[in-house]
Structure 1
């Protein structure tokens, strides 16, 4: 019997609204000497109009006879726009051969999930699980696996994926007061805000040719949303203004080019007509000079 530390993982369910499968699993992650995964029912498990979510021990048959895992865990359906709207549920359970999964058949109603903005962002649903394995009976060494379910890393109080660590560190190195007035305290919501900021910075690194005016309008709304949460983003606002100005110049250049092309088209045709007339006159000239 032994004590284990907490494990935090994030699972992004892509295209949630269009899923046809009755249930689906996250990738595996390791805690307490065994493999775990999240088990989701997009249309509910014996609960109509609900999203059901469970924590499940994977490959239970491979564990030693009499294995047990006492785990305290929380599952959160993240609302990226509002900390208060995020749905958090907590429980604890002795996982064993006869009861390898435990969770919440009524995690959140589909009506609420689809009606309130922030749960489904571009069709994707984000779930965060925090698991603390309190006691382990029947130890089995299990190596870590490559997985799309990632443990998060703390960078200045923001839990981000390993692939995002360098980008977030650079933000804080360049802009020391970036989050000095950031208000939300919920770690899942903080992660959602940081992902939102990273996405916005990536968008604004695109060329004006790749960005539409609608994109820039959305970027402005996103920037206002992030500033309202307390991020200090004067530098990003300045960059957005510069991009908008460049976009105006691009559109002005395109308009002038179109106007010039419209003026040039009839002139080109006139040149072609004159060249044809010259060829005709040359033929008549040759015929006039030909000896009898």
Structure 2
């Protein structure tokens, strides 16, 4: 089943640089009659501590599976470069998972120096995006995982984009208000299409917040994200106009705050 995977999950780690936990888990997903999740060590694991991101695939329900269970799995892990899909870091592995070997992955998935480089494309707006694709080759020992569990993280196709059920309303509204938004969008890669759309949704959400919550860094990141989206082919004149208005309003607020502070200092 070369290059064929039954399940694809995108995991976004928010505020990656500020994660304090030694290890963090993704949401659980179901494939191959088992529950799985990703385990990430943001600052590395073992000999890679403070050097590399460590990333693993784990059988979440291994303790409840029947005696003698085994899963022959092929999976692909990708740390997404959010500026250029060609620069994404990717590893593929195939093997058996069983009771005493229920977790497998890469201790040195990506050097932290590369991951945290502000111009490297892996850390954008504070977020790191990871994708896992899993293909099942053989299952030994059935579990009683309910089929309904499969529906929890299923994606839905909207105009060629895979979105989560929680995003359907926002994405539908976006396409209804701006029907030509993807008329010049060029990427055919499903992973990059999802990444770009998530960035767009995030940007629109930020612009709906009060301008008082925007720092100068937030505004710079917003313009950087907008530039990447436009280069990818999104038609975003309406969003660029709104971003300009929000930023101008925030700059004026900052100027007034500084003026008030200066006046206060002069009184003393």
TM class by shorter chain equals 0.7 to 0.9
Bigger shift: residues 18-27 or 173-182: 18-27
Match of 2:157 among 154, 157, 168: 154
Q: CA deviation at 1:5?
A: 6.9
Give the paired residue count. 251
Q: Given the alignment of the two structures, is residue 50 of structure 1 paired with residue 52 of structure 2, yes or no?
A: yes
Q: CA deviation at 1:75?
A: 0.8
Q: Matched residues in 1 for 2:232 and 2:106: separation?
A: 31
Q: Matched residues in 2 for 1:244 and 1:17: separation?
A: 25
| 3-state secondary structure, aligned to 1:12 | strand
Equivalent pair of 2:30/2:150 in contact (CA under 8 Å): no
Q: Matched residues in 1 for 2:241 and 2:126: separation?
A: 30
Q: Matched residues in 2 for 1:44 and 1:214: separation?
A: 27
Q: Given the alignment of the two structures, is residue 94 of structure 1 paired with residue 93 of structure 2, yes or no?
A: no
Equivalent pair of 1:36/1:57 in contact (CA under 8 Å): yes
Equivalent residue, structure 1, for 2:7: 7
Q: CA deviation at 1:181?
A: 1.7
Structure 2 unaligned spans of 5+ = 264-268
1:217-236 superposed Cα distances (whole Å, 9 cap, x missing partner): 65444322211111011232
Compared CA separation, residues 140 and 230, structure 1 to 2 (3 A): same
Q: Matched residues in 2 for 1:183 and 1:233: separation?
A: 15
Map 1:6-155; keep pairs closer than 5 Å. Answer: 6-48=6-48, 49-115=51-117, 116-143=119-146, 150-155=153-158
Q: CA deviation at 1:211?
A: 5.5
Q: Matched residues in 2 for 1:8 and 1:240: separation?
A: 33
Equivalent pair of 2:69/2:98 in contact (CA under 8 Å): yes
Q: CA deviation at 1:20?
A: 4.0
Compared CA separation, residues 151 and 9, structure 1 to 2 (3 A): farther
Compared CA separation, residues 123 and 239, structure 1 to 2 (3 A): closer
TM-score for the superposition, normalised by structure 2: 0.78
- Root-mean-square deviation over aligned CA pairs: 3.3
TM-score for the superposition, normalised by structure 1: 0.72
Q: Given the alignment of the two structures, is residue 168 of structure 1 paired with residue 162 of structure 2, yes or no?
A: no
Q: CA deviation at 1:108?
A: 0.9
Map 1:218-237; keep pairs closer than 5 Å. Answer: 218-237=221-240
1:76-103 superposed Cα distances (whole Å, 9 cap, x missing partner): 1122222122111112222122321222
Higher alpha-carbon Rg: 1
